[in-house]
C-alpha cells in the first residue's frame, strides 16, 4: 500500500477490504444520490480570495465548542456500528479523537457503550440521540451518557424513518467473514430499535429533553432558516447543519449551500456547525468563512477505520489539520477569527 496523501484515498482501500454490502452501507446515499454528489460538488463552487503579505509565521487552529477547548474546528460525526469497519470500532475512534485533541460524537447505534468509550481514557465526547417511542428508554440513555462523562447531546432530527440496511439481519450475514460483527450486532435488537424511532418527534420534545438533562443539546439536521429560528427559541445550544450524509431525503441542498441561511437566522445566538462532504482542509476553511463554528466528518472516519484502525483515523485528522492550516496560511489568516466571508466567493454570490 502506497503512502496515503489525502483523505479520499481511504474510500478505495475500504472498498477493497470490506464485504461489499458493508462498504455500500457506509458509502451510499439515498435514492439517486444527487445530494451525495452535491455535498462534495458544492464545495468546488466556492473559490478563495486570499490575502497576501500577512505574517503567518504563527497560526492558531484552536477553538472552543460549547465551552470546551479543542485543538481544531474538525470533529467526528456519529456513525453507527463501527465494529463493522474494524474490530476496535468506537474504541479506536475515541482514542484517535482524544489524541488529536478533538471531539468525538458517539452514535446511539454504536457497537460500544458509552461506558466502554469512556474507559478508553480522557477526551471530550458528545452523545448522539434518537428519540424512541418509549421516553423512559430515552431518559435512561441520556442518564447513562451523563454518568459516563459525555458533555453534550446531539439530537438527530432528520430521521423520522429509518430503513434498515437489508444485511442487518443475521440471516444475510451467514457465510460472511465479518470478524466480531456477529456478536457486536444483534440484528434482532437492531431492527427492534430502528422500529422504535418515534415519528411523532417534534419541537416540544426538544424542550422536554431539557427538563431531563442539563447537558447542552445540539440539534442535528437543520437545513433552513425557519428551523434555525425555532431551534434557537426551543433552547438548543447549537445547530448542526446536516443532511445525514445525504442518506435521508435526496435532493436537499448540499449542506455547504444551506449553511449561510442558517447562520444568518441564528444571528450569533448559538453556534452553527456543519457536516457533509468535508474531505479537505479547504472545505473546512470554506465552512468557517460561511459562518460555521466547526465541522464534523462522517465517512472519512469509517473508511480510515476500516483501512488502518486507530492509526487510519489519526492520519485522517492529521491530514485535515495540516491542509486546513496550510489553507489558513495561504489565505492570510492566523486564527479562526480572522477567517471572514470576504476570503471566499461563491458562484451563487451576486456579481460585485
Ligand atoms: C451516519 N450518520 C449518522 N448520524 C446520526 O445522527 N446517527 C447515526 O447513527 C449515523 N450513522 C451513520 C452511519 C454511516 C455509515 C454514515 C455515513 C453516516 C450521519 C453522520 O453523522 C453525518 O451526518 C454524515 O456522515 C456527514 O457526512 P459525511 O462526512 O459522511 O459526508
Whether 187 shows a pLDDT value over 90: the answer reads no
Nearest CA to ligand 1 atom 15: 26
Instruction: Calculate mean pLDDT across residues 100-116.
Output: 94
Of how many residues is the chain composed? 352
CA 50 – CA 332 distance, rounded (Å): 6
Whether 191 shows a pLDDT value over 60: the answer reads yes
Which has the closest alpha carbon to 245: 48, 107, 73?
Answer: 107
Tens of pLDDT, residue by residue over 276-296, are 999 999 999 999 999 999 999
pLDDT range class, residue 352, cuts 50, 70, 90: low
Mean pLDDT of the chain: 91
pLDDT range class, residue 1, cuts 50, 70, 90: low
Instruction: Calculate mean pLDDT across residues 65-74.
Output: 98
pTM above 0.95, yes or no: no
Instruction: Calculate mean pLDDT across residues 232-241.
Output: 97
Task: Verify whether residue 86 is a known catalytic residue.
Answer: no
Whether 173 shows a pLDDT value over 90: the answer reads no
User: Residue 195: what pLDDT?
Assistant: 76
Q: Point out the ligand 1 atom lying closest to the alpha carbon of residue 78.
A: 21
Instruction: Calculate mean pLDDT across residues 150-169.
Output: 74
* Distance between Cα 350 and ligand 1 center (Å): 33
* Distance between Cα 301 and ligand 1 center (Å): 10
Determine the residue of 23, 77, 108, 117 to mutate for testing ligand 1's pocket, defined as the one with the most ligand atoms within 8 A of the Cβ atom: 77
Instruction: Calculate mean pLDDT across residues 64-84.
Output: 96
Whether 262 shows a pLDDT value over 90: the answer reads yes
Whether 72 shows a pLDDT value over 50: the answer reads yes
CA 176 – CA 186 distance, rounded (Å): 15
User: Residue 316: what pLDDT?
Assistant: 98
* Distance between Cα 126 and ligand 1 center (Å): 14
* Distance between Cα 77 and ligand 1 center (Å): 6
Q: Point out the ligand 1 atom lying closest to the alpha carbon of residue 107.
A: 9
Nearest CA to ligand 1 atom 23: 244
Given 220, 244, 279, 343, the catalytic residue = 244
Residues near ligand 1 (Cβ within 6 A): 26, 39, 77-80, 107, 109, 128, 156, 220, 242, 244-245, 247, 275-278, 297-299, 302
Amino acid at each position: 500500500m502506497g503512502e496515503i496523501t489525502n483523505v479520499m484515498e481511504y474510500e478505495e482501500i475500504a472498498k477493497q477490504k470490506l464485504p461489499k454490502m458493508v462498504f455500500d452501507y457506509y458509502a451510499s446515499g439515498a435514492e439517486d444520490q444527487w445530494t451525495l454528489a452535491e455535498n462534495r460538488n458544492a464545495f468546488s463552487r466556492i473559490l478563495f480570495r486570499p490575502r497576501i503579505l500577512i505574517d503567518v509565521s504563527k497560526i492558531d487552529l484552536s477553538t472552543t465548542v460549547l465551552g470546551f477547548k479543542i485543538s481544531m474546528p474538525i470533529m467526528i460525526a456519529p456513525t453507527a456500528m463501527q465494529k463493522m469497519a474494524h474490530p476496535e470500532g468506537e474504541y479506536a475512534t475515541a482514542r484517535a479523537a482524544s489524541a488529536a485533541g478533538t471531539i468525538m460524537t458517539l452514535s446511539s447505534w454504536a457497537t460500544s457503550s458509552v461506558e466502554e468509550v469512556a474507559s478508553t481514557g480522557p477526551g471530550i465526547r458528545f452523545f448522539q440521540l434518537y428519540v424512541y417511542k418509549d421516553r423512559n428508554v430515552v431518559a435512561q440513555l441520556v442518564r447513562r451518557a451523563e454518568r459516563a462523562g459525555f458533555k453534550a447531546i446531539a439530537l438527530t432530527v432528520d430521521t423520522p424513518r429509518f430503513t434498515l440496511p437489508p444485511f442487518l439481519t443475521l440471516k444475510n450475514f451467514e457465510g460472511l467473514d465479518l470478524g466480531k460483527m456477529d456478536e457486536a450486532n444483534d440484528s434482532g435488537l437492531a431492527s427492534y430499535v430502528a422500529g422504535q424511532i418515534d415519528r411523532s418527534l417534534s419541537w416540544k420534545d426538544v424542550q422536554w429533553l431539557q427538563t431531563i438533562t442539563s447537558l447542552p443539546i445540539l440539534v442535528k439536521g437543520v437545513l433552513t432558516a425557519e428551523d434555525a429560528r425555532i431551534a434557537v427559541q426551543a433552547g438548543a445550544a447549537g445547530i448542526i447543519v446536516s443532511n445525514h450524509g445525504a442518506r435521508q431525503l435526496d435532493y436537499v441542498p448540499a449542506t455547504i449551500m444551506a449553511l449561510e441561511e442558517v447562520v444568518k437566522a441564528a444571528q450569533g445566538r448559538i453556534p452553527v456547525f456543519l457536516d457533509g462532504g468535508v474531505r479537505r482542509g479547504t472545505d473546512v476553511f470554506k465552512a468557517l468563512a460561511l459562518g460555521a463554528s466547526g465541522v464534523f466528518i462522517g465517512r472519512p472516519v469509517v473508511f480510515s477505520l476500516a483501512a488502518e484502525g486507530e492509526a487510519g483515523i489519526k492520519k485522517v485528522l492529521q491530514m485535515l489539520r495540516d491542509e486546513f492550516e496550510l489553507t489558513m496560511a495561504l489565505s492570510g489568516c492566523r486564527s479562526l477569527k480572522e477567517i471572514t466571508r470576504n476570503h471566499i466567493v461563491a458562484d451563487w454570490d451576486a456579481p460585485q
